Chain A
């Protein structure tokens, strides 16, 4: 059994919260450059250039790219041969989020209860944490701060198996079309297909942390990703929803086996910067 001191987890999560918010991924930057070269709308080009300037400024100053520094979604892969020593893993992750949002001057956007008082917890905790037990002696942590402008535009539908691929395409397009300008396009679209209701939602979120220049290993799924991207970009929503060719930079799909009677599809939308940062202990 390999021991990892709890302080290492806290330090890593603190760093990842700040990095994810201030550093635009290289895959995203390259995709924005590509969009800038091909966008037909002059206003759209102007907007894409400003998003690139914004990312450069955030990288240079170490400050956040966007004021909505999100709820901290944390994916944790725990090796079966790892023991976190000196405290609880969950407490350590939340302490890392608390320090990251305080020391990084990030906005605290979490309210204690969704319905009644909606009082800000003041430190952006609790994080939304997803654990997965894997083989090995490593701990892999991905922090994916999720802003609400895009999160609010997401959706889930339990399709019938007979709806098939066409039904899925229609649903994804409906979601993106009704999201329009709200999620700060150009967006990244995560699609989760299969499993159960909650599994599809989780797959859609996991799809958003896959690099956008990396297609799904299954050729049929990869082709569907490409086809959906082209369909979305025919909607005309464009940068910031003011019209143009680039509504989305990528569609990432994750799939999972399902019940004979099920076809769950979840669509999770992310804004252009699709923030996430990963570290391994």
Chain B
């Protein structure tokens, strides 16, 4: 299958053109944050402050990487469960955040925000942290260093592989894929 090359910023038109099942290779800058950093970002917005980076048309990767070993930019860096960010994601999407990379289902509030503002949700392969780290060429903590592995990072990635699992029209590959192979009607 032909892979789509993406280079952030990702504008609304491009995001809306991506469909579930599309495989993409992302190159350029993406941001990385998980639970604790999301909580701090949302609290900052609620206080009327700006974020440590401009989220407009950017992609955020839900990851808490391992420390870098000598000579490497970063340690293992696979996706974490996205559902834990559901409480914070709609607000960030409303501020222009265009793409999210993680694993697992999202809440209906997140999907509604994606439909309204033109967001896209990608899955990276959970458990393939060693392999995915190879696609991260540079990593820099840009805020909340006190959170350790949960700090907010900027990554420079090259051909970072991901799959569109929920698109801006609300189509959901988790549902479509599982229904195709399900052989039990009810439990």
Residues 92-122 of B at the A interface (beta carbon under 8 Å): 103-105
Q: Which residue of B lies closest to A242 (CB)?
A: B177
Q: Which residue of B lies closest to A230 (CB)?
A: B183
A65 to B184, CA, bound (A): 33
Q: Are A152 and B128 in contact, CB atoms less than 8 angstroms apart?
A: no
Contact of A107 among B64, B123, B173 (CB under 8 A): B64
B171 interface hit (Cβ, 8 Å): no
A-side contacts of B127, CB under 8 Å: 51, 54, 65-66, 184, 271-273
Smallest Cβ distance from A206 to chain B, in angstroms? 22
A279 interface hit (Cβ, 8 Å): no
Q: Are B128 and A50 in contact, CB atoms less than 8 angstroms apart?
A: yes
Q: Are A63 and B75 in contact, CB atoms less than 8 angstroms apart?
A: yes
Q: Are B78 and A152 in contact, CB atoms less than 8 angstroms apart?
A: no
Q: Are B81 and A64 in contact, CB atoms less than 8 angstroms apart?
A: no
A100 interface hit (Cβ, 8 Å): no
Smallest Cβ distance from B134 to chain A, in angstroms? 8
A159 interface hit (Cβ, 8 Å): no
Smallest Cβ distance from A273 to chain B, in angstroms? 6
B14 interface hit (Cβ, 8 Å): no
Q: Are A244 and B187 in contact, CB atoms less than 8 angstroms apart?
A: no
B-side contacts of A68, CB under 8 Å: 64, 78, 80, 129
Q: How many residues of B contact A (CB 8 A)?
A: 47
Mask, B150-187, CB within 8 Å of A = 1, is 10000000000001010000000110111111111001
Q: Which residue of B lies closest to A182 (CB)?
A: B104
A122 interface hit (Cβ, 8 Å): yes
Mask, A256-281, CB within 8 Å of B = 1, is 00000000000000011100000000
Q: Are B180 and A54 in contact, CB atoms less than 8 angstroms apart?
A: no
Q: Are A105 and B75 in contact, CB atoms less than 8 angstroms apart?
A: yes
B131 interface hit (Cβ, 8 Å): yes
Q: Hey, which bits of chain B sit against chain A, CB under 8 A? A: 21, 36, 63-69, 75-78, 80-81, 83, 103-105, 123, 125-131, 133-134, 147-150, 163, 165, 173-174, 176-184, 187
Q: Hey, which bits of chain A sit against chain B, CB under 8 A? A: 40-41, 43, 47, 50-51, 53-54, 57-58, 61, 63-69, 105-109, 118, 120, 122, 148-149, 152, 170, 173-174, 177, 180-182, 184, 231, 234-238, 240-245, 271-273
